[in-house]
Structure 1
Amino acid sequence: MATLTATPQQLISANPQIAAFGNPDNFIEPVFPGQILNQYAFLVDISERVHTREMAITNVLATAGIGMWTYGIYSKKFHLCPVASSFLGMKGSSTFGLGVLMQKLVQWNQKHVLDTAKTACRMQQEFEAELHINTANGCYGRWLKITGKLYCSDGLAMKMMGTLTDITAAKQEELRKNDLMAFLNHELRTPLSTIKLYIQNTARVARMENNKSLEDKMLKADQQTVSMTQLINNFLTLSQVQDAKLSLQKSHFDLSELLEDVTTDMMVLYPDRKFKVKEAKEIWVTADYDKLVQVLVNYANNAVKFSPVKSVITLGCQMVSGEAIVTVQDKGRGIKEADQKLLFCRYSRIHHEKTGGAKGYGLGLYLSREIVESHGGAVGVNSEYGKGATFYFKLPVK
C-alpha cells in the first residue's frame, strides 16, 4: 500500500490549476491509503464520500416525508431530491434557478423568505421559514416549512443546504381557526353595541329618577361590555397578526386629543382610580387612531390591574428627538427586572405573590407591541420593583 508523497509545490508544477483551490501553504497532506493515480484523486474521494453521506441522509429523511434541497453559491442553482420536488409539483430530482422558486411562491411571501435566508447567511446561523406555494387548484395553496444553513470551506461560501416539510394540513387548520375567530369577532360586535346602548339608556333614566342603586348596576354592566369589546378587539387583532394581515387605517390627528379621549373613558370605567393627563402638548401624527386607542387602553387596563384603589394613573405624551413618546404611569407594586423582558411576549403574565397573577390571556401587551411596531415604533417599560411602572410607546413623527 502507498500514500501520496508529492509536495504541494510538485503538485502545482505538474498541474497549475490546483492553485485555484487555495494557497499551497494551507495544503494538508492526505493520508488516504492505497495507490493514488493522479494528484486530484483525494479531492474526488472527499467529494464522493460527502455525496454518499448526503444521499444516505436524504434517503432516511424521505421515509419520513421530508425533502432535501441544496443551493450552489457559484452555480446559482437549486437541487431538490424527489420528495422536495414533489412538494413544488415537479417529478423526480430537479435543478433550477432562483427565479423558478420565486414564481412558485405567493407574491407577499417572497420578500420575507429571502430576507430571512440572507440574514441567516450573514449571521452564520440556521434559518427557518414558511413557504406559501401557488397551486393550480385549491384556495389555500400548499404550505411548506423550509430550514437551511450556509456551508463554507476555507472561509468561502460554497452552498446552502436544508430540508423541506409539507405543513399544509396543519396550516389549513390554523387558518380555519383564525377565520372562525375573525367571523365571531365581527358578528359579536353588533349585538354587543345594542346591549351597550340599552344599558346606557337605562343608566340615564335611573339617574333622572334618582335611582342610585339601579344606576350603579348599569354602570357596572356597561364596564363589562367595554371589557368584552376590548377582548374582542384583541382577539381580532391577534388573528390579523397571525395571518400577517394587520391592516392600518391611517389618518392625521393630535395625540393629545387621543389621550384626553381615553382618559375620559377610563374615568367612567374605573371610578375607584384617579386618572390624569400631563405633558399633553399638541403632537400631530399619521397613524391608525383606533389601533392606538387599543394600545393605550391595554396599557391603562394593565395599570389598573396592578395598582391599588384610589391610586393615580397618569397619561402623557411628549416629543423627544423627533419621536412622539406616549406614557402610562402607575403607582403599583412595580415589575421585577427579570419579568420585564417577558412582558411583551405572547401569552406572558406576571405572577405576584399576593394575587397569584392577574386574570387575562396575556395578549394585551403582546398585541400592543405588534400594533406599535407596525407603525415603525417601539414599546417598552421603566420600572423599579415596589415603586410602580411606566409603560411607553414611541412613534416616528413625519
Structure 2
Amino acid sequence: MASLNSEQELFKSLVEASAVPTAIYIGQDIVIAAVNAGMLSFLGKDASLIGKPVREAMPDAGLQHIVAHIRLVFSTGIAYHKKEDKTEILIDGTPQDFYFSHTIKALRNSQGEPAGVVQTIVDITALVLARKKIAETEEHLAFALSTARMREQQLLCLVDHNADHMSVADMEGNLIYMNAAARKLLGVDPDEDVTTLSANDFYSAAELKRVQETVIQQIKEQTGWQGTIRLRNRLTHEDIPCQVNYILTKDPESGEVIGRGATVRDLRPEIRAKAELQRLGMIVDISEDFCNYSDIEGNTIYLNAAGLRLIGMDKEDMGTTNLFQYHTEHSAAAIRDVIMPQLHRSGKWSGTLELVHQQTGEVIPIHKQLFIIREDITDLPIAIAGIARDLRPELKAGKALDFKNTQLQIAIRELEFLANSVPVVVWRSDPQGQLDYINQRWNEKSPIAISKALGNGWAETIHPDDEKRAWAAWRLCLNTGSPYQIEFRLLDKFGTYRWWMVRAIALKDDNGHIIKWYGSNIDITDQKELEKQKDNFLGVASHELKTPVTSIKAYVQVMEMMFRRAGDTKNAELLAKMDHQINRLSNLIADLLEVTKISTGRLQVASSVFSFNQMVEEVIEEVQRTSVNHEIQRNLHFDKEITGDKERICQVIINLLTNAIKYSPDASRIIISTEGNDSEVKICVQDFGIGIRKDQQERIFEQFYRVNGNREYTFPGLGLGLYISSEIVKHLNGRIWVDSVEGKGSTFCFSLPLN
C-alpha cells in the first residue's frame, strides 16, 4: 500500500509538472488519480474531481468518445493517438466545435498488468481554425487571380475583336499593340509584328506633322483628346478620315506617362451615308409626288415643294399646320380612327385619301402611303412619313380609257359584223398557228362547229392526200413570216370534199415580230371544175389541131419546093411565110399540150448525164440562128456534168432566151451566165428591154399572164412560156425567180440541185 501511494505521489508530481493538460486514471472504474491545472482548466473543473470516475469528470456528450477510448486503452493496453479530433462541446448552452490532439497510453504494474491510463490533451482549436482561414484565403486569392486573368483575356479578346481601331504606342510613336480592326483598316497583315511599326507608317507627311506638333501636344492627362485625323492605309495608300480618341497611359508604379492609347472610328461609312441622305433629301425635295413628314401627333415638320404646290400652301405656313387640316373631314377621320391604329400595329398603311387645296378648296383624290418612324434604341414611334400621288390625271386618263374601250368594243363588234357579212371564211391565229377566231361563214360550210375548229381542230376536215402538203407549207410560213397561199380540200357538211384557196398574211410589230396571222378561205370548187373542163377542152382541141396542122405544114413544104423548082420564087416566098406561121401555130399547140399535161399531172421528166455547158452552148447556137438583131453573150462558169432531164432544161432556157429577145426590141444584146457549187447550178438570162413593174413580178409565172409594152409595142403570145418553165423547174426540184426594173430590163434565173 505504501508502494502504491508512493507511485501515486510520483504520478501526481509528473502530471503537475507537465506543460500540457494531463490526467492519470487507475483501477477498473477508471478513477482520476492525478490531474494537473491544465486538464482541470480544459474540463472546467476543480481539484475535487480527483478520486472520481472519469465518466463523472467528462459528462458532456461530446466527450463520451474520449471516455470510451480511455476504457478501451485500459482494457487492451493498446495506446491511442488522435490529431485534430473534432469535438462538439456546449459552451453556455451553445454547441461549439473544438479540435484536440490527445494521446492515451496504458500504465502497467511490476507484473505487466494494466494498472492505469495516462491521458494528455492539447487544444489546437485556434490553430486549426487559423489554418482553415489561411486555406480559405488562399483559395479566394487563387479564384480572384484566375478570375482576373480570365477577365484580362476577355478584355483583350473584346478589344481585339472590337469594330473600332484600337492601338497603343509609346511616346515616340512606336507601336506596342494594334487590334484586328486596326490591322484591317490600315493594311497590316494579321501575323505581322506591330512593334516594328511606328506612326510614320500610317500618315501622310503633312498629317504626321500636324499630329506630332499639334494633336499630341493637346492630349490632357484627365480628358485625353478627341477630333478627326486622316490615317493612311499602308497597302493602298488611301487616306482615311477618322474620328479619334487619344488617352495617355501611365506607369502604375511611378505614375509617369509612358505612352498613349487610341480608339479610331472610320468615318467613310458615315460620310457616304450622309451623302446618300443628302441625295435622298434632294430626290424627295424635287420629287413630283407629295411628300410629308410629321410628328406622332400629326404636326407638320416637312412638306416638299410638290406637296406645297398640290395643297396650295406657303412654305412659311408649313410649321403651323397639322396633317388633319389639309385632308378632307372624311379623310381626317379615317386617319385618326383607322389609319393611326394600323400604323402603330404594322408600321405602314396605303390607300386612297382626299386632300383639300388650301386656297381654292378643291378636293384632290390621292393614293397615299404612310410609314411610322421609330427611335433606334427604344423602338418608340417618333414620326410619320408619307408619300402621295395625285390621282386626278389617272382618273382623267381612266375616263378617257373607258371611252376608248367603249369605242374599241363598238369597232370590234362592227369588224365581227363585217367579217360575218363577207362571203368567204375569215380566220385569225396566234404566232404559233393556233386559230383563235373564225367567222360565221365556217358554220355554213363545215361539218364541225367553230368552237371545235379553233386551235388545230379545223385540220380534222382536211383531205388525207392534202394534209402533209398543207401542214408543211403552213409551218414554213410560221417560221419565215412569208405569206401563206395554198389550195387544198376540206370536208363540207354534206360529206364531200371541196377545194379551197387559203391565203394568210402576218401582222408584225415594228421589230418584225409576228403578232397575229389573218387569213381567208375561198371556195374554188366551181372554179376548179371550170379549169378542169378548160384543160380537157384544150387537151382535146390541141390534140385534134395537131394532126391537120401537121398535114397542112407538109403540103405547104411540098408546094414551096414545087414552086422553087418551077422558078416561081415569089409564090415560093409566100409559102415560106405560111410555113413560118404554121410553125408558130405548132408551137402554140405544143404549149397548150404542155399546159394540159401539167394541169393533169402527166408532165414527165427523164434523167440522163450530160455536160451542162455544152447543152447551154447548143441552145445558144440554136436560138442565135433565129435572131439577127440580138447578140447572145456568154458568161459561163460551170463546166461540169449533171444528172437531169436535158430536153426539159433546154426547153426552159429556150423560153427564157426567146422571151428576152421578144421583150427587148430596142436592145442589141442578151447575156446568159452560169455558175454553181457543190450543191446546185444556177443559170441567168439578162435582157435590157422593157422590164416588169413590181406589182407584176409576183404574177409573172402564172398561167396565161402576159406583160405588154406601155407605148407602141404589143407582144404576141398566150402567156404560157414562163408558166411552163416554172412548172418544169418545180418538177426538177429547183426554183425560178426574176429581178427586174421597169424600163431597164429583166434578169430571169433558175437553179437546179445537183443531188
- Asked if Structure 1 and Structure 2 have the same fold, meaning a TM-score greater than 0.5 normalized by the shorter chain, the answer is yes
Amino acid at match of 1:84: W
Q: 1:256 to 1:202 in 2, by over 3 A?
A: farther
Whether contact under 8 Å (2:483, 2:504) holds in the other structure is yes
Partner of 1:345: 700
Q: 1:212 to 1:107 in 2, by over 3 A?
A: farther
Partner of 1:299: 656
> Is residue 250 from structure 1 mapped to residue 606 from structure 2 by the alignment?
yes
Q: 1:233 to 1:79 in 2, by over 3 A?
A: same
Partner of 1:90: 448
Partner of 1:19: none
TM-superposed deviation, 1:133: 1.8
Partner of 1:368: 725
TM-superposed deviation, 1:380: 5.2
Q: Figure out how many residues of one structure are paired with residues of the other and give that number.
A: 356
Q: Distance in 2 between matches of 1:379 and 1:75?
A: 28
Q: Distance in 2 between matches of 1:321 and 1:73?
A: 36
TM-superposed deviation, 1:95: 0.9
Whether contact under 8 Å (1:303, 1:313) holds in the other structure is no
Alignment RMSD, CA only?
A: 5.6
**SS in structure 2 of the partner of residue 185 of structure 1:** helix
Partner of 1:224: 581
Taking the TM superposition and a 5 Å limit, the aligned residue runs for 1:75-224 are: 80=438, 82-90=440-448, 93-96=450-453, 101-107=458-464, 109-111=466-468, 113-122=470-479, 127=484, 129-134=486-491, 141-143=498-500, 145=502, 147=504, 162-203=519-560, 212-224=569-581
**SS in structure 2 of the partner of residue 395 of structure 1:** strand
Q: Distance in 2 between matches of 1:157 and 1:392?
A: 31
TM-superposed deviation, 1:249: 1.0
Q: Which has the higher strand share?
A: 2
Bigger Cα Rg? 2
The two structures have a TM-score, normalised by structure 2, of 0.36
TM-superposed deviation, 1:117: 4.0
Partner of 2:689: 335
- 1:208-265 deviation line (CA, Å, top 9, x unaligned): 6666445444433332222223223444555666x59584413215345645665676
TM-superposed deviation, 1:84: 0.6
Partner of 2:195: none
- 1:10-60 deviation line (CA, Å, top 9, x unaligned): 9xxxxxxxxxxxxxxxxxx89767xxxxxxxx9xxx9x9989976664444
Q: Distance in 2 between matches of 1:76 and 1:382?
A: 37
Q: 1:315 to 1:223 in 2, by over 3 A?
A: farther
Q: 1:186 to 1:329 in 2, by over 3 A?
A: same
Taking the TM superposition and a 5 Å limit, the aligned residue runs for 1:254-273 are: 254=610, 255=612, 258-259=615-616, 262=619, 266=623, 270=626
- 1:100-134 deviation line (CA, Å, top 9, x unaligned): 53342234543554355445544667755544224
Whether contact under 8 Å (2:424, 2:522) holds in the other structure is yes
Q: 1:215 to 1:296 in 2, by over 3 A?
A: farther
Listed as ranges, the gaps of 5+ residues in structure 2 are 1-350, 353-368, 370-393
Whether contact under 8 Å (1:263, 1:275) holds in the other structure is no
Q: 1:139 to 1:397 in 2, by over 3 A?
A: same
State, as a whole percentage, how many aligned pairs show the same letter: 21
Q: Which has the higher contact order (CA 8 A, sep 6+)?
A: 1
Listed as ranges, the gaps of 5+ residues in structure 1 are 11-28, 34-41
**SS in structure 2 of the partner of residue 102 of structure 1:** helix
Amino acid at match of 1:229: S
- 1:253-279 deviation line (CA, Å, top 9, x unaligned): 5345645665676577x4856888966
**SS in structure 1 of the partner of residue 607 of structure 2:** strand
The two structures have a TM-score, normalised by structure 1, of 0.61
